[in-house]
Amino acid sequence: MDPGILQILELLPAAGAALAALWQHSGKKQAESKADDLVSFFDPADEKVTSPPVTVPGRSWKMSDETRRWVICGHTPGDQASLVQQITDAEAEKKTNYVISVPGAYYEIEYGLIRGGGMYAKKVG
C-alpha cells in the first residue's frame, strides 16, 4: 500500500477523536454556564440573573395552589380576583419578588411564598 494513503488512513481516527474532544469540551462549557446561572439565580447576594433560567422548574418559584388559596381567603370576591390576577401577572413576568395588594391588605411574595404582609389601618369617622 502507498505510504501516503497509509498515513491518511492513520490520521482519520486521530482527527475524529480530536473533533469528538472539541465537541465534548463545548458541551461542558455550556453546562458550566447553565450551572453558574442556576446558582446565581438562587443566591440572594448575586443579582446577575434575576429571572429564572429555563432549567429551573416553575414549581420552585411559582406560588402553589395551597398558598394562593390562603392569600385570597377572607377577601371579597372582587379582591380575590384582583389578587389572583396580580399573582398571575407577576408569574408571567417570571418575578421572584413582588408585592400584591388590595384595599386594606398587602402581601410580600418571594419565590412563591408569603414573605410578609399586613393590613392597612381603616379610617374611622
Least confident residue range of 10-14, 48-52, 67-71, 112-116: 48-52
Using an 8 Å Cβ cutoff, are 91 and 56 in contact?
no
Q: What pLDDT score was predicted for residue 12?
A: 80
**Residues of the chain with pLDDT > 70: what percent?**
89
Confidence check: pLDDT of 25 > 70:
no
Residue in the structure block whose three cell numbers are 418571594: 110
Confidence check: pLDDT of 123 > 90:
no
**15: enclosing H helix or E strand:** helix 3-42
Cα distance between residue 99 and residue 118, in whole Å: 11
Burial of 39 by CB count in 10 Å (0-12 exposed, 13-18 middle, 19+ buried)?
A: exposed
Q: Which of 43-52, 57-66, 86-95 has the highest mean pLDDT?
A: 86-95
**125: enclosing H helix or E strand:** none
Q: What is 56-107 written as a DSSP string?
A: S-GGGTSPPHHHHHHHHTTS-HHHHHHHHHHHHHHHHTT-SEEEEEETTEEE
